């Protein structure tokens, strides 16, 4: 495939900002696209890394006598947390604008910098979205291999790119974090975590399977979250019933990376796996839309004590003393036919006097759209179109 320069949805802020995202999601490419005249300092350059780690104050000299509002990009900023003190000073004294780009905030937070105490806002870069790919978006390919830019733009080598991503990039990222002393147990956990993508997390069971302590499992998940490789989503707790399930669910940031972590790149994909891949893809699209359109709405799931589940509950208005919470419910199914029984949990929630369900949506892999007494059933492509048109939430 010819590599087009695809426009990303993320709008450029007009002030200093952190840009976080997993490796290979296109952060550097994006910044060179939207800030072609910026001063670009890449801490993967070993000589630059050595100089600034020894003498952070050299940063000002490297930028030189530039006017106020000059843009300066510091790539892989997490490699030298001490630089943020110097960045703070230069924002205040020189009025320069900084983009602080990285794949993890863990080291920055541990350094006590508190992300510049509000002097820089935070933005996130994810893998390509369907809206960014446009006519290039292929649902079947994306469910198998994910939406990483390097994968989407070089589909012939998708399998090899994903294998290298897990076996090279993730290992490097974990070594950079410096919190895993013994790598083999973490790699066992990584494979298991790939296999439980889009499922509830039972830490005790995972500890047994990975042959590590329960506390290690908690640490390992925190590493995946801090390096933005995965996200836990919490159970929505509207107090409809006393016995609500509260274990979080874990989603990898990309279905292809989840497949590679699980060691399934060379195995045929069954429908159960493809179903979790579809959920992961829809969750990815929800996150991209939520962030790039600056909605910032909480996304949860809902599971009853009897095992019924709503895949995604998006809270569009919080509950107050005088008003009910408002939510949008989504049910996602890998099926060419819609089964009306899949609507039950959404309809039950809509009857609660404590919650106002603004919209109930079924997303499936069939071709026809339906409206069943308050429930809109949409093919994936139509759902994604409506999402980015602002019609879902």
pLDDT of residue 16: 97
- What is the pLDDT, as a whole number, of residue 174? 78
Return all residues near 230 (Cβ < 8 A) that are at least 6 apart: 193, 221, 224, 250, 251, 252, 253
Query: Which of 387-390's residues contact partners 24+ apart within 8 Å by CB, and which partners?
Result: 387/285, 387/286, 387/289, 388/129, 388/130, 388/131, 388/289, 390/293
Contact assessment for residue 312 and residue 299, using Cβ atoms and an 8 Å cutoff:
yes
pLDDT band at 5 (very low <50, low <70, confident <90, very high): confident
* Residue 221, pLDDT score: 95
Structure tokens at 392: 């879902």
**112: its two tokens:** 């006590």
* Range in 66-80, 124-138, 236-250, 268-282 the model is least confident about: 236-250
Instruction: Give DSSP secondary structure letters for 259-297.
Output: HHHTT-TTSPPPHHHHHHHHHHHHHHHHHHHHHHTT---
**Measuring CA to CA, how many Å separate 69 from each of 15, 75, 92?**
8, 18, 11
- In order, the DSSP letters of 249-260 are EEEES-HHHHHH
**Which pLDDT value is given to residue 242?**
45
**Architecture, CATH, for domain 284-388:** 3-Layer(aba) Sandwich (3.40)
Place of tokens 């990285």: 102
CA distance 43 to 91: 19
The pLDDT tens digits of the residues spanning 252-272 come to 999 999 999 999 999 999 999
d(CA 373, CA 193) in angstroms, rounded, equals: 39
**What fold characterizes domain 17-124?**
Rossmann fold (3.40.50)
Q: How far apart are the first and last CA of the chain?
A: 34
Q: Which residues pair with 314 in a beta bridge?
A: 299, 328
Average pLDDT value for residue range 336-365: 96
User: Is 284-388 the same fold as 17-124?
Assistant: no
pLDDT score for 202: 95
More confident residue, 307 or 44: 44
338, 378, 379 from 368: Cα distances, Å: 10, 7, 6
Residue 281 sits at the vertex; the CA angle it makes with 75 and 229, to the nearest 5 degrees, is 35
Split at pLDDT 50, 70, 90, the class of 190 is: very high
Q: Check if the beta carbon of residue 361 is closer than 8 Å to that of residue 338.
A: no
Q: What percent of the chain has pLDDT over 70?
A: 95
- Following DSSP, what letter does each residue of 192-217 receive, concatenated? HHHHTTTEE--HHHHHHHHTS-HHHH
CA distance 100 to 102: 7
DSSP one-letter code for 374: T
pLDDT of residue 183: 82
Beta bridge partners of 231: 251
Residue 104: the pLDDT is 84
The domain spans of the chain are: 17-124, 130-232+248-275, 284-388
pLDDT, residue 175, reads 73
Per-residue pLDDT at 172 exceeds 80: no
């Amino acid at each position: 495939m010819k590599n087009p320069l695809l426009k990303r949805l993320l709008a450029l802020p007009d002030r200093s900002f952190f840009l976080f995202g997993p490796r290979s999601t296109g952060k550097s490419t994006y910044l060179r696209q939207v800030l072609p005249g910026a001063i670009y300092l890449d801490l993967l350059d070993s000589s630059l890394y050595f100089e600034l780690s020894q003498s952070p104050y050299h940063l000002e000299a490297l930028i030189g006598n530039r006017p106020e509002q000059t843009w300066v990009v510091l790539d892989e900023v997490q490699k030298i947390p001490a630089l943020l003190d110097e960045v703070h000073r230069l924002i205040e004294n020189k009025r320069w604008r900084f983009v602080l780009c990285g794949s993890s905030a863990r080291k920055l937070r541990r350094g006590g910098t508190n992300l510049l105490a509000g002097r820089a806002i935070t933005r996130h870069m994810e893998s390509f979205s369907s809206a960014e790919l446009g006519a290039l978006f292929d649902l079947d390919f994306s469910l198998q291999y994910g939406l990483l830019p390097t994968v989407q733009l070089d589909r012939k080598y998708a399998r090899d790119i994903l294998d290298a991503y897990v076996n090279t990039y993730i290992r490097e990222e974990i070594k950079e974090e410096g919190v895993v002393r013994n790598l083999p147990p973490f790699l066992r956990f990584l494979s298991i975590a790939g296999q439980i993508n889009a499922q509830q997390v039972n830490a005790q069971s995972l500890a047994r399977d990975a042959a590590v302590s329960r506390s290690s499992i908690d640490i390992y998940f925190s590493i995946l979250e801090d390096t933005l490789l995965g996200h836990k989503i919490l159970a929505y707790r509207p107090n409809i019933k006393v016995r609500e399930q509260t274990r979080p669910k874990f989603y990898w940031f990309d279905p292809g990376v989840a497949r590679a972590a699980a060691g399934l790149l060379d195995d045929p994909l069954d429908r159960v796996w493809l179903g979790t891949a579809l959920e992961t893809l829809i969750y990815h699209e929800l996150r991209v839309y939520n962030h790039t359109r600056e909605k910032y709405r909480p996304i949860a799931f809902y599971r009853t004590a009897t095992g019924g589940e709503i895949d995604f509950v998006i809270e569009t208005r919080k509950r107050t003393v005088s008003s009910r919470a408002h939510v949008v419910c989504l049910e996602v199914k890998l099926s060419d036919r819609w089964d009306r029984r899949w609507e039950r949990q959404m309809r039950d929630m809509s009857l609660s006097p404590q919650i106002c369900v603004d919209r109930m949506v079924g997303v499936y892999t069939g071709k026809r759209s339906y409206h069943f007494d308050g429930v809109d059933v949409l093919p994936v492509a139509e759902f994604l179109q409506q999402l980015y048109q602002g019609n879902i939430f």
